[in-house]
Amino acid sequence: MTRPTRSDVPRKARERAERLRHEIERHDYAYYVANAPTVPDAEYDRLFAELQALEAEYPTLVRPDSPTKRVSGTPSSAFAEVVHTVPMLSIRSETDTTAQGAIGFDARIRRDLELGADDPPVEYSAELKFDGLAISLRYEDGVLVRAATRGNGTVGEDVTANVRTIRTIPLRLSGSPPALIEVRGEALMLRRDFERLNERQAAASEKLFANPRNAAAGSLRQLDPAITARRPLHFFAYGIGEVRDWRLPSTHSALLDALAALGVPVDKQHTVVHGAAGLVEFHRAMGARRADLAFEIDGVVYKVNRLDLQQRLGFVTREPRWAVAHKYPAQEMVTTLLDIEVQVGRTGALTPVARLAPVFVGGTTVSNATLHNEDEIHRKDIRIGDSVIVRRAGDVIPEIVGVVLERRPSRTRPFHIPTTCPVCGSAVYREEGEKVARCTGGLFCPAQQKQALLHFAGRRALDIEGLGDKLVEQLVDAGLVRSPADLFKLGLSTLAGLERMAEKSAANVLAAIDKARRTSLERFIFALGIRHVGESTARDLAQHFGTLDALMDADETKLLEVSDVGPIVAASIARFFAEPHNREVIEQLRASGLTWPEGTPRVTSDGGGALTGKTIVLTGTLQFVTRDEAAELIRAAGGKTASSVSRKTDLVVAGEEAGSKLDKARELGVPVIDEAQFKRILGR
């Protein structure tokens, strides 16, 4: 067969190969030199595999300087060069992320070793594929004398001063080390350390790292070792390079154990497996544990365990035949941000959601991703129309982690949270110091219906017994109730016709609804679900204003006159009543027959009560009254209750089985009384 010449290669194939070389070299520089990767690993692997396929189809395209002929990376001119006596080669990545990837590798090994069906399974060392920076540690007579990055596989960078700051790397080996040994492994950053580092970066208004791998690479290649020392790195060994005066073990797994005996960190999750079945199970088991690991991995590594068989199998181009990296479905991919929509949650929070061109990532097709909030969008400079990096890990909701700026089209659009709710049209606000914007139409907004109804019917609000989660779900989904006012329009036949709702149960719910028509002003105010207004504040508002109309017409200045109402609460109340939709529902509730006593406060503060002006905390079980009844008695005596003990607490009432609140009171020196003393104070 005649070997094809360069002239036989289609022009499109030559041009595509040239473009791929340039693009891969550009990404190599961004990743290894600038420490600012422009594409996720999966995108890089796709480009590399495409170039490999072209060169395999048209061998005359292969050039000595092709990225497929060397290990990527260029040493920085800021570091001294280190020539690797034994090249630091990389291993091939298995593109099939299913069980077939492991089965295919085992089949190739058996074929290359000329094993038959009756021969025993091949023994493999199975390890994790760390997501960090490959480095080499040179020990002479047991002392660390040099550390270097992989670089381009032949020449790396001298990072000895920085590596010495990594506390997991021994400066002197234990036991009886050889005269010379070059330990090879991965420098990485644990997830928890990565999160803390980014928190510190954000607090200092400095650039955040995209992922732990990028953080590890950037930390190890700092010109100032003091900076590296402040960024906690870890190291795991996975092999050796040059070695002298040391009797090598017979297997790779025994080699790892020998390194561990010398005091070199080795991940304990490496194991020995047999045949394709063992490889498949290891890949599955580590994939299930992946999200719980202390560090990032993007796959596992299989190596023929016997070192003599490794020598027999040898190498092909830049890769050993006896090892492979079996990856998991990509957790990061590039796609297009088609639009940003806003979802309104059950509590009125507005959350921007990315609508994406569908992309397969993390084992599933993703078309939506969370964007968290407007500040996060602006911090990452995400615009509609951008090429974005989408990340999905396990069951975690997909998120956009960054933008591929070099692909930004000229007509991208910035995003801003709307000023009105996209669901109900009510005004949207964002409190100072908060990242989340919220809809103000709490009683009216369909997105908040279920939450608003459950709160409205709660025991401490209107106390509508029987109106729980499942019934509210049915009422809203069937379109029978759109606001709390619709509850008072329900009939027996309508309720009885719902699933799991017999006529007797329906009658009981209707009776509870009818009973709720007669309530108190403080309960009604609390039932409205105004943000920051709890039971205590609702009580103070009712006592201060006396009527609902007076409260609804109060501006922030008047609201600030109420005890314990500060600027944030006052603004929240004013916003709620300024929204016409909320006022409309309140008028509907009044029209439905909902009433409460008005005119004068139910509790006066004339100084006549035994507990006037005092803050009381109840803990444990009281025998003569319930907790709610005790709180009413305290209010009737001029006092107020609080849910937690602080230095502002005047008295703690401790019933049976009092817990941590009693301990806190003793710690702070707050007076504590028992139930008998409490009864005497109340005159009962």
Helix or strand run (H / E) with residue 662:
helix 660-668
**Which residues constitute the domain of residue 674?**
615-682
User: Residue 86 has what pLDDT?
Assistant: 92
Residues tagged active-site: 129
Instruction: With respect to residue 86, please indicate whether it lies within any of the assigned structural domains.
Output: no
CATH number at residue 623: 3.40.50.10190
Q: Is residue 606 part of a domain?
A: no
Q: H/E/C letters for each residue in 334-390?
A: EEEEEEEEEEECCCCEEEEEEEEEEEEECCEEEEEEECCCHHHHHHCCCCECCEEEE
- Please report the pLDDT score of residue 393 as a whole number: 65
Asked if residue 186 is part of any domain, the answer here is yes
CATH number of 65's domain: 1.10.287.610
Q: How far is CA 121 from the centre of its chain?
A: 41
pLDDT for position 261: 93
The one-character DSSP state at 2 is P
Predicted pLDDT of residue 455 = 94
Torsion of CA 144, 146, 150, 152, to 10 degrees: -160
**Whether residue 557 is found in the same domain as residue 665:** no
| One domain for residues 584 and 619 | no
Q: What is the pLDDT of residue 76?
A: 55
Q: 3-class DSSP state for residue 383?
A: coil
277 and 261 share one domain = yes
Looking at the structure, tell me whether residues 562 and 634 fall in a common domain.
no
* 615 φ/ψ angles, rounded to the nearest 5 degrees: -105, 125
Predicted pLDDT of residue 77? 59
Identify the pLDDT of residue 604.
43
Please give the backbone phi and psi of residue 454, each rounded to the nearest 5 degrees, phi first: -65, -40
Residues 34 and 158 in one domain: no
In order along the chain (684 residues), what is the average pLDDT of each group of 10 residues?
63 91 81 70 87 89 74 62 91 88 96 94 97 94 93 90 88 92 95 88 79 84 81 93 94 96 93 97 93 89 97 88 90 92 92 93 84 91 95 76 91 95 94 89 92 93 93 93 94 90 92 95 95 89 92 94 85 94 95 86 53 86 80 80 82 86 88 88 78
The total domain count for the chain is 5
The pLDDT value recorded for residue 593 is: 93
For residue 84, is it within any domain? no
Q: Are 314 and 234 in a shared domain?
A: yes
Please check whether residues 236 and 112 belong to one and the same domain.
yes
Pair (235, 249) in one structural domain: yes
Place of tokens 């006066």: 604
Residue 602 counted as domain residue: no
Report the CATH number that the domain containing residue 192 is assigned in CATH: 3.30.470.30
Tokens of 437: 């914007």
Tens digits of per-residue pLDDT, 531-572? 989 888 998 899 899 999 999 999 999 999 887 788 889 999
Of 154, 13, 132, the closest CA to residue 70 belongs to: 154
* Residue 506 belongs to domain with CATH number: 1.10.150.20
Q: By three-state DSSP, how is residue 335 classified?
A: strand
Per the domain annotation, does 217 fall within a domain?
yes
665 shares a domain with 644: yes
Q: Does residue 620 lie within any of the structural domains?
A: yes
Can you tell me the distance from the alpha carbon of 134 to that of 301, in angstroms, rounded to the nearest whole number? 15
Q: Are residues 46 and 177 in the same domain?
A: no
